[in-house]
Homo-oligomer: A and B are copies of this chain.
Amino acid sequence: MKELEDRIRKEGRVFPGNILKVDSFLNHQVDIKLLDDIGNEFYRLYKFAGVTKILTIEASGIAIASMTAYHFQVPFVFAKKAHSANLGKNVYTSTVHSYTYNKDYPITISQDYLNERDTVLIVDDFLANGKAAEGLLDICKQAGAKVAGIGICVEKGFQTGGKELRDKGVRVTSLAIIDSMSDHDLTFRSHVTEQ
C-alpha cells in the first residue's frame, strides 16, 4: 500500500533494537484518513472471504479494527491483556510473549463473542515475531472459528513471524513489509498488489 509506505518513509523513526516508531500517524496519534484507507484495503482483500468478525488485541490494534469493521459492517472484538477481573469465567485464554518488554502476558476473550459459526479476520498494527497473532490464532482454534487471514499494517519482514505464519498455511496480508532497517534507511519489499 503505497500511501502507508510513503508515510513510514516520511515520518517513521528508527531506534536501536530495530524499533520503528510510527507514533505520529498509526499508534499514538492516528491519522483518520490513513486509517480509513487501511480499513478499506483490508476490505478489498477479504471482501469475498465471508468475514463475520474482526479480531485484534488491545490497545493499538483497536484503531485498526474499528475502521476495518466499519468497511465490513461486522462487529469487532478486542482481546484483553492481563487480568481482566471484569470478564467473568467463560473465557478463551492464551499466552503471548512480548519481545519488547521481555515477558509473557495472558490474552483473554469472552466465549460469548467468538464461536464456530464465525469467520474471523485478525488485524494488528505490527507483525514481527508473530507471537500476538499466534495467540489470537490459538483462541480462534479454541473457539472453533475459521480464520480468513491476518491483515497487518507493518510487517518486519526481516523477522520470522510472517514466514512462520505463512508456512502454516495462514493467509497473511501486510500492507507494508520492511525488509531491512537502519538508522538512515528503510527498504520495503516490492510486492505485486494482491487481488
Contacts and interface: CB of A to CB of B under 8 A. Distances in A.
A195 interface: no
Contacts of A67: 66, 70
A86 B27 CA distance: 11
A76 to B, nearest CB: 5
Nearest to A71: B32
A113 B29 contact: yes
Interface stretch (A17-25, A42-50, A134-142, A155-163): A17-25
Interface stretch (A55-63, A146-154, A164-172, A173-181): A55-63
Contact of A63 (B29, B62, B74, B100): B62
Contacts of A33: 73
A184 to B, nearest CB: 19
Given A23-B87, A66-B67, A32 B113 contact: no
A97 interface: no
A62 B73 contact: no
Contact of A66 (B63, B87, B100): B63
B30 A76 contact: yes
Contacts of A113: 23-24, 28-29
A144 interface: no
A65 B21 CA distance: 21
Contacts of A74: 32
Interface in A9-43: 19, 21, 23-25, 28-33, 35-36
